[in-house]
């Protein structure tokens, strides 16, 4: 099993085709998460997901990844259910919960109530390479 948060994320990111991970940024980013979880099978990490945000009203589900050989077996569903339960258990009122779905995974998230609000609202982001 990978020995650090960074190595876990790196292994999962590479397995699902998300590219490489920056060591310095990853450790700090994970440490500043609102909540995170890993899925383990036979002592090995097979998936992860986390919540980032302000911990009060705005939450973003981030880095949900399951090793390809464990996909379509309920692992992702269980992780999303636990992440959403954490928000319900810790948010004092209405919560805005956002995420970006990988192409082709939209139907998976729609089962939990996530919706694409375009064209009325557009999710946007930028990557600042500093």
Quick one: angle between helices 23-31 and 5-15, nearest 10?
A: 110
CB 48 within 8 A of CB 67: no
pLDDT in tens, 38-94: 999 998 889 999 999 999 999 999 989 999 999 999 999 999 999 999 999 999 889
DSSP E strands: which ranges in 1-130?
35-41, 44-53, 58-66, 96-98
**Mean pLDDT value across residues 106-129:** 87
CB atoms within 10 A of CB 80: 19
Strand 96-98 relative to strand 58-66, pairing: parallel
Catalytically active residues, by annotation = 109
Percent of the chain with pLDDT over 90: 55
Identify the band that residue 1 occupies on the pLDDT scale cut at 50, 70 and 90: very low
- Closest by CA to 50, choosing from 24, 86, 25, is 86
Give the position of tokens 């939990």.
112
Q: CA triplet 49, 50, 54: central angle to 5 degrees?
A: 160
What residue spans define the domains of the chain?
Answer: 5-110
Identify the band that residue 13 occupies on the pLDDT scale cut at 50, 70 and 90: confident
For residue 55, the 8-state DSSP code is S
**Mean pLDDT value across residues 105-129:** 87
Q: Is the pTM value of this prediction over 0.75?
A: yes
Q: Which CATH superfamily is domain 5-110 in?
A: Gcn5-related N-acetyltransferase (GNAT) (3.40.630.30)
Most confident of 17-21, 53-57, 126-130: 53-57
For residue 111, the 8-state DSSP code is T
Does residue 117 register a pLDDT over 90? no
């Amino acid at each position: 099993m990978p020995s650090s948060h960074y190595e876990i994320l790196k292994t999962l990111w590479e397995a699902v085709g998300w590219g490489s991970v920056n060591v310095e940024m990853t450790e700090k980013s994970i440490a500043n998460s609102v909540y995170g979880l890993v899925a383990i099978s036979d002592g090995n990490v097979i998936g992860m997901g986390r919540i980032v945000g302000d911990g009060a009203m705005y939450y973003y589900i981030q880095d949900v990844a399951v090793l390809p050989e464990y996909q379509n077996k309920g692992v992702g569903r269980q992780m999303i259910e636990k992440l959403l339960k954490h928000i319900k258990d810790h948010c004092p009122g209405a919560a805005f919960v956002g995420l970006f779905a990988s192409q082709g995974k939209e139907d998976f998230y729609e089962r939990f109530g996530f919706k694409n609000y375009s064209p009325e609202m557009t999710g946007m982001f930028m990557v600042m390479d500093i």
